[in-house]
Chain A
């Protein structure tokens, strides 16, 4: 790889751009594709015989693979921006969850209107948003690579967060709370006008069932479920 191209790739990653590094295996020719870019890439790259549509598929499935082209085999390395995880409630469980999710490469945000909870001391290096979730979440613009987890089990914080999340294409929505708590929560959301299909998007009780007890263990179970959900598009493709 040309060092200038490596620098361009690193710059794109730091800027959280969505890019694909295309490498022609026969002669080592390389180009950085921006399949969603308005100005850069698509037109001229397609002219150069680079597989732009396949590059888009690699990004959508968050997978890297070799495709055959008229100019020979091309390896497409998809670089999506990190998965974003929005934690609602700067509670104890949010602390190990923020750490573990960061370690797994995710961008973590903690939303809590109570500034005494969402402090830099409790969440070093984590982006803290001191606002009510109904005000904060729409502004964050959750997309298909964003997960939202409510952790306060206080309906006046969690419910508006879930309502806001259900109105977005977030790939994961989880709500902490027992089966009983979750049942009551679903009943309240139903009164807000959400149907079965919408409510089925909420993972509750949150996380994989690993008999977690401590905050760190519960964080592991939630993170495991978030990872599993994030991989579903690629999994469907392999099946």
Chain B
């Protein structure tokens, strides 16, 4: 049976968790202007640093993985915002000029 991409991400998160890893799930909850991944897009992050899925066109995934590891430790979910007005726009901003809001939660 075929599973669609977002389902693969959720299944991978469950599999990592089942294997005893700390896992975080990032979900796009809002976009403004042009953004490559729609609200609802998922990315799962494992404590090994491995990740599947995406929340942008590759622009902010690195920063989200970094934040996710802190969230695994703290156990507290967090909303992350990225966009052209961000201080870090040059480093982790969206080249497309959009803005994206991402909810990152521990799977625990």
Contact = CB atoms under 8 A, between A and B. Distances in A.
B7 A13 contact: yes
A13 B11 CA distance: 10
A28 B14 contact: no
B77 A28 contact: yes
B73 to A, nearest CB: 16
Interface in A60-105: 63-66, 75, 77-78, 82, 102, 105
Contacts of B95: none
A75 B29 contact: yes
Contacts of B25: 1, 6
A25 B103 contact: yes
Interface residues of B, number: 26
A64 B28 CA distance: 9
A10 B30 contact: no
Interface residues of A, number: 23
If over half of A's interface residues share one DSSP class (helix, strand or loop), that class is named, otherwise mixed; here it is: mixed
Nearest to A6: B14
A146 B64 CA distance: 36
Contacts of B27: 23, 75, 77
B48 interface: no
A105 B4 contact: yes
B21 to A, nearest CB: 11
Interface of B: 2-5, 7, 10-11, 13-14, 17-18, 25, 27, 29-30, 38-40, 76-77, 79, 103, 105-108
10 contacts: A3-B107, A6-B14, A6-B25, A23-B27, A63-B39, A63-B40, A64-B39, A65-B39, A82-B4, A102-B2
Given A13-B7, A125-B2, 17 more contacts: A1-B105, A3-B17, A6-B10, A6-B13, A10-B10, A10-B14, A13-B10, A25-B103, A28-B76, A28-B77, A28-B105, A63-B40, A64-B40, A65-B39, A75-B27, A77-B27, A105-B4
Interface of A: 1-3, 6-7, 9-10, 13, 23, 25, 28, 63-66, 75, 77-78, 82, 102, 105, 107, 125
